[in-house]
Chains A and B, each alone.
Chain A
């Protein structure tokens, strides 16, 4: 029997294959992310970065391979995983006929998080005054993104999955976002960032994973300003994350 990987694993994918119909979204991804780690995932359009995040959040099931998220099976223990994972995707998941405050309140309560954090999160993202009582349908794309970030901030999940988080944000909100990512990481949360805009990610992610063609093609550590410091030491072969794993033949 293969020895178990350390229990500090937040994400563990082994030969993960995900399909959309017959089209491969992921074509055998091997990835291990430790708890508290911040990882930047980069790669060309259509490489499978967004699909990787959707698989990790449990939105897309694996066709084959193994996955463990925070030590849990994201299919069999779907709701437990989802309440501990926050995904900032291209969509903001907002209801146009609800106000900003109502949207944040609904999302936070639905996730079982503490509604007491809502006001602080909205303040942090500049959602104050009349903006709070404005219907989300009237917001700009950047403002909608800020609301989605406020939800994530109020929830403060254990695993942050951020898909192009800087897209559409103004300079000050980008700074706030970077501060939030740094705080999340410092508080022990795991952050997986997908971004083409490495200049905005800066020194946030000491590890960069490159995805192409649905596979991980490179996994390296970088210095504070993005300079490479060499490939990431690979785990001993045959290691597995502790906790439940999905194995679909």
Chain B
């Protein structure tokens, strides 16, 4: 059964806004760490929103790609393609942070140090990964059927 287009757009919009807000907070934290004295460092929700300037920028890009269909005609393929690419980008970053977490664990093990796994796992990009993964096959199947219909 194919998921209705309207639902996909609404889902992508919510996810996109979430990525935009969290990405902005991540960017703000990263900026404060990089450019401000320690007393002025911003720390919001610990490792859930890490202070990462470029990571925050990338998250904002994911959010912007996901909400881009707002400015396009939703009858065409283009709008759904933005949803597909946006969700694929979100999956890439989610998987990347899972890999980095695993690498941190291995490094800590080799150095005989304690690995605080919660710092790697409980970051929002990883927690939002399942929600982004769902969007990839659903948007892809709708695009495929639309392309078949145009033949």
Same assembly: no
Chain A interface residues toward B at CB < 8 A: none
B interface, CB within 8 angstroms of A: none
